[in-house]
A and B are shown apart, each in its own frame.
Chain A
């Protein structure tokens, strides 16, 4: 039997240092996942990008890098660290996995990656997860002065399934964009507008979605100004910071004339509308999906502007304003995704959802759970058996037939669509509904508040 005093001591330690305990638990979970499971597609491009840089082709000389340059610069840094650490091998092709190239799903790679390279890439994301958790902690602590609530917010981010999955399994850099976005908010609240503008530029040129929040962030800048002169100065300073950072980011592309290449990901995605005429159901669905995304922008932008205007004009002040502002920020971040996003995209909602859940209305924990769980399930469905390629390569635990049969089953068509497409549609819908659940809770809370006002 375990000593009861040990249990009591452990409990006391957890209560005394909750953030430290949460951080350790989160890191241990990530440390277990990082070497075992890796989505084979995106990390391939990170390795290709570093090798293209090493061969003198820059970010856009040879195919492989399809984003704006910020993440590429970070990859350049990772390449340098890899060099310092003596990581020479990034990965290799396994001929037995080439069958994936015949799958309906074009986002598999017949590659496996060296453990050292995998750990290096994912460690960076883990660090940013931790920084974001700290920033959310500060945000809550600043407004509520409540360490318990701040610790809870820290934990809800750092132990969130989709956050863990994105950094430790998917190896995708959305977490860095979120870090920069939350950092922007904190800097605005501290009235450090130039730095806020600079960091916002980093966030926008990492993942673009933070750009949708420009209206509501401006509303905050303007609200914080006491006089018209102050407001103008603050706005101009923020814009100057943004422009300065944009120029700094784009200097290399301006010099070598590849600015347009850095926006290839937009044209390639929009270009996919109607371009995929192979008759594959997955192509048709993505074509419809991209068209829908563009159409929905006509609704998204007016709502974002409306929310920004409402919060700018709201009579509340101080804590009440801060609380309402964060609610509106959360709603704005959710409105970006009236469509079904790739699960990593919706991480942008989470810091604000966590904030509102912890500080304003704990019922929002339900959308939080729904979003984080449905997003992970959707990711698992999309990445499926490719997550096991590393285990297949480095252990005898996964037989090749298991992978072949599994991917074969996903590609199998009972009717006119494959099992994969059916699963993706169901889980994609679940993810979308989980985002929509935020509106439901917001509406209910709004009705309740209205009732309360009428009673008084």
Chain B
């Protein structure tokens, strides 16, 4: 038999490299991951497992008696097109956000259209429920710019709003029409006074949540003024105290505003916020970080009682997340 020459061997090597890589994509990924936790008298014990060598963070977050969101409703309706996106773009973006949620371990979400959103507003209690408004625009079924609109009533029932893509309350949209600007949105959303319309950038962590959850967004466009009474900022901040995540209490409920135009970074941070169970005023009380391949067990020590414990693998390149307590 003729001996193969070096060129053929290299060629076969390159071909095999590609084929094996393709097979690896198909059969070698994703890794196997799991995480469990139990409450102890001094805090929590955790047991985490990963088949792939990766970094991890186990973060204990004090929720200050607030109830973390366990069910999320995402408003999207192709007949009510937001001011900053087409119907198809909106659908694509929401799909990306949903994938981010799943990656971070939060699967209890569903899309709602304008009618379903309106029905949702009629529930007697909204505690533990969250609504995500992705593109800074609400349908006229729940919001027209009046203080008596359904949407404003809902937060007073203890619901949590997550808002991205613009100034809260500035746009409303009717079925089949273009979104229109609301002239005095601050009547309904007083906290938007002093909102930043762009040009500022966060350059330092606002709290331990930032590094604990590997939050990445730095845009301060649409960030709330730190002067607003009761405004609590999270994520990254600038010298002024403006933060990438602004939160205010609205009645019994909470309004989270994630700064910046919608992007992968914003979706990453928001999905982490929701999946980890962050609430108004949340603070990190304990954190353990390291690398895992196989199994790692450990404990977190804290004295607070309303605590969520969240596990994140991959750090700034996240691959898996799970809320193991809370």
Contact with B along A178-205 (1 / 0, CB 8 A): 0110010011001010011011001000
State the interface size on chain A (CB cutoff 8 A): 65
Instruction: Write the nearest CB–CB distance from A178 to chain B, whole angstroms.
Output: 12
Which one of B14, B55, B293 has the greatest number of beta carbons of chain A within 10 Å? B14
Query: Beyond A47-B317, A82-B53, is A187–B7 a contact (Cβ under 8 Å)?
Result: yes
Flag whether A361 is at the interface (Cβ < 8 A).
no
**B319's contact among A55, A72, A101, A135, by CB below 8 Å, is which?**
A55
Chain A residues with CB under 8 Å of B236's CB are 95, 98
Bound CA span A56–B102, Å: 10
Flag whether A120 is at the interface (Cβ < 8 A).
no
Contact with B along A102-143 (1 / 0, CB 8 A): 100000001100000000000000000001001100100000
The answer to whether A251 and B22 touch across the interface, beta carbons within 8 angstroms, is yes
Bound CA span A50–B293, Å: 16
Instruction: Write the nearest CB–CB distance from B12 to chain A, whole angstroms.
Output: 7
Chain A residues with CB under 8 Å of B7's CB are 135, 138, 183, 186-187, 190
Flag whether B228 is at the interface (Cβ < 8 A).
no
The answer to whether A92 and B15 touch across the interface, beta carbons within 8 angstroms, is no
Chain A residues with CB under 8 Å of B292's CB are 88
Please report which residues of chain B, range 95-131, place their CB below 8 angstroms from some CB of chain A when the two chains form the complex.
96, 99-100, 103
The answer to whether B103 and A101 touch across the interface, beta carbons within 8 angstroms, is no
Query: Beyond A54-B29, A183-B7, A202-B18, is A95–B205 a contact (Cβ under 8 Å)?
Result: yes
The answer to whether A245 and B15 touch across the interface, beta carbons within 8 angstroms, is yes
Bound CA span A196–B12, Å: 10
Residue of A nearest to B26 (CB): A252
**A51's contact among B22, B291, B319, by CB below 8 Å, is which?**
B319
* Among A57-65, A289-297, A346-354, the stretch in contact with B: A57-65
The answer to whether B201 and A202 touch across the interface, beta carbons within 8 angstroms, is no
Contact with B along A380-412 (1 / 0, CB 8 A): 000000000000000000000000000000000
The answer to whether B203 and A98 touch across the interface, beta carbons within 8 angstroms, is yes
The answer to whether A98 and B218 touch across the interface, beta carbons within 8 angstroms, is yes
Query: Beyond A95-B203, A186-B7, is A83–B52 a contact (Cβ under 8 Å)?
Result: yes
Instruction: Write the nearest CB–CB distance from B120 to chain A, whole angstroms.
Output: 28
Flag whether B190 is at the interface (Cβ < 8 A).
no
Bound CA span A53–B29, Å: 6
The answer to whether B5 and A90 touch across the interface, beta carbons within 8 angstroms, is no
Chain A residues with CB under 8 Å of B15's CB are 195, 198-199, 202, 245
Chain A residues with CB under 8 Å of B315's CB are 89-90, 92
**B201's contact among A79, A102, A252, by CB below 8 Å, is which?**
A102
Instruction: Write the nearest CB–CB distance from A355 to chain B, whole angstroms.
Output: 16
**B25's contact among A59, A63, A83, A131, by CB below 8 Å, is which?**
A59
The answer to whether B103 and A199 touch across the interface, beta carbons within 8 angstroms, is no
The answer to whether A88 and B55 touch across the interface, beta carbons within 8 angstroms, is yes
Bound CA span A87–B99, Å: 26
Flag whether A86 is at the interface (Cβ < 8 A).
yes
Chain A residues with CB under 8 Å of B320's CB are 54-55
Chain A residues with CB under 8 Å of B22's CB are 69, 73, 76, 248-249, 251-252
Residue of A nearest to B321 (CB): A55
The answer to whether A195 and B264 touch across the interface, beta carbons within 8 angstroms, is no
Which one of A47, A73, A99, A138 has the greatest number of beta carbons of chain B within 10 Å? A73
**B216's contact among A80, A89, A93, A180, by CB below 8 Å, is which?**
A93
Bound CA span A63–B93, Å: 11
The answer to whether B17 and A74 touch across the interface, beta carbons within 8 angstroms, is yes
Chain A residues with CB under 8 Å of B317's CB are 47-48, 50-51, 90-91
The answer to whether B52 and A138 touch across the interface, beta carbons within 8 angstroms, is no
Flag whether A274 is at the interface (Cβ < 8 A).
no
Bound CA span A161–B18, Å: 28
The answer to whether A70 and B218 touch across the interface, beta carbons within 8 angstroms, is no
Chain A residues with CB under 8 Å of B96's CB are 62-63
Chain B residues with CB under 8 Å of A226's CB are none
Residue of B nearest to A124 (CB): B17
The answer to whether B29 and A89 touch across the interface, beta carbons within 8 angstroms, is no
Contact with A along B13-32 (1 / 0, CB 8 A): 01101111110111011110
The answer to whether B25 and A87 touch across the interface, beta carbons within 8 angstroms, is no
Query: Beyond A51-B317, A98-B203, is A57–B103 a contact (Cβ under 8 Å)?
Result: yes
Bound CA span A49–B8, Å: 30
Chain B residues with CB under 8 Å of A179's CB are 14
Please report which residues of chain B, range 172-227, place their CB below 8 angstroms from some CB of chain A when the two chains form the complex.
201-205, 210, 214, 216, 218-219
Flag whether A456 is at the interface (Cβ < 8 A).
no
The answer to whether A80 and B24 touch across the interface, beta carbons within 8 angstroms, is yes
Flag whether A227 is at the interface (Cβ < 8 A).
no
Flag whether A77 is at the interface (Cβ < 8 A).
yes
Flag whether B1 is at the interface (Cβ < 8 A).
no
Chain B residues with CB under 8 Å of A267's CB are none
The answer to whether A95 and B218 touch across the interface, beta carbons within 8 angstroms, is yes
The answer to whether A88 and B54 touch across the interface, beta carbons within 8 angstroms, is yes
Chain A residues with CB under 8 Å of B316's CB are 90-93, 111
Top 3 closest pairs, chain A to chain B, by CB = A73-B21, A56-B30, A51-B317
23 A-B contact pairs sorted by A residue (CB < 8 Å): A51-B319, A55-B103, A58-B29, A73-B17, A73-B19, A76-B21, A77-B24, A80-B28, A88-B54, A93-B214, A98-B218, A102-B201, A131-B10, A138-B7, A187-B7, A195-B8, A195-B11, A199-B14, A202-B14, A245-B15, A251-B22, A252-B25, A255-B26
Q: A54-B30, A55-B30, A73-B17 are in contact. List 4 more A-B contacts (CB 8 A).
A: A54-B31, A57-B99, A90-B317, A93-B316
